[in-house]
């Protein structure tokens, strides 16, 4: 299996041992059953460990996956799970999203990461695109 053969695979992350990868699959339509986060070791069939529209996700040094699940109100829910999909927990609070699942700006990238201790997440909530480049001028 190659990831190039997986439709809509993006944001590939290696496990800490370098044996398997996690990747996101985008939604083709509302409630797409294939959308979410998948994990594969290239020897067994990929496992669907998180279902739904994933705006971004991060992996910490202990292979915990933090998924930012997109909602239609543009407020993202933060979820945490183990690499195998077990231990799924909804974390408190919401994060404003950059885009919704019915419109994707191809130049918008989610820059996010989780701290090594798993206690802090950094997430870019304001994209810098031509549409809002004036914000930079206002800072001078």
Instruction: Identify the domain containing residue 9 by its residue range.
Output: 3-138
Query: Residues 36, 25: contact at Cβ < 8 Å?
Result: yes
Query: Residues 55, 37: contact at Cβ < 8 Å?
Result: no
| Beta strands in 1-128, from DSSP E residues, in sequence order | 9-14, 21-25, 36-40, 47-51, 54-59, 65-69, 75-81, 89-96, 112-114, 121-123
Instruction: Give the Cβ contact number of residue 49 at 10 Å.
Output: 19
Measure the CA–CA gap between 134 and 131, rounded to whole angstroms. 8
Query: Residues 82, 74: contact at Cβ < 8 Å?
Result: no
User: Could you read off the pLDDT of 86-109 as tens digits, one per residue?
Assistant: 999 998 878 777 654 444 444 444
CATH of the domain at 113: 2.120.10.30
Predicted confidence at residue 36, as pLDDT, reads: 93
Provide the terminal-to-terminal Cα distance of the chain, rounded to the nearest Å.
50
Say how many residues make up the chain: 140
Point out the residues of the chain with pLDDT beneath 70. 1-8, 98-113, 122-140
Predicted confidence at residue 86, as pLDDT, reads: 94
Instruction: Give the Cβ contact number of residue 82 at 10 Å.
Output: 14
Claim: this prediction has a pTM higher than 0.75: no
Predicted confidence at residue 122, as pLDDT, reads: 66
User: Could you read off the pLDDT of 40-53 as tens digits, one per residue?
Assistant: 888 888 999 999 88
Predicted confidence at residue 101, as pLDDT, reads: 45
**How many domains would you assign to the chain?**
1
Where helices occur in 14-69 by DSSP H, the ranges are none
């Amino acid at each position: 299996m190659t990831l190039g053969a997986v439709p809509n695979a993006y944001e590939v992350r290696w496990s800490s041992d370098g044996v398997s990868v996690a990747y996101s699959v985008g939604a083709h339509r509302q409630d797409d059953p294939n959308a979410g986060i998948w994990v594969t070791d290239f020897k067994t069939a990929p496992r669907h460990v998180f279902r739904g529209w994933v705006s971004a996700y991060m992996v910490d040094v202990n292979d915990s996956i933090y998924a930012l699940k997109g909602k239609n109100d543009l407020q993202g829910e933060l979820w945490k799970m183990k690499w195998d999909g077990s231990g799924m927990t909804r974390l408190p609070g919401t994060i404003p999203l950059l885009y919704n699942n019915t419109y994707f700006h191809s130049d918008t990238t989610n820059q996010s990461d989780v701290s090594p201790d798993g206690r802090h997440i950094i997430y870019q909530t304001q994209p810098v695109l031509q549409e809002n480049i004036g914000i930079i001028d206002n800072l001078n």
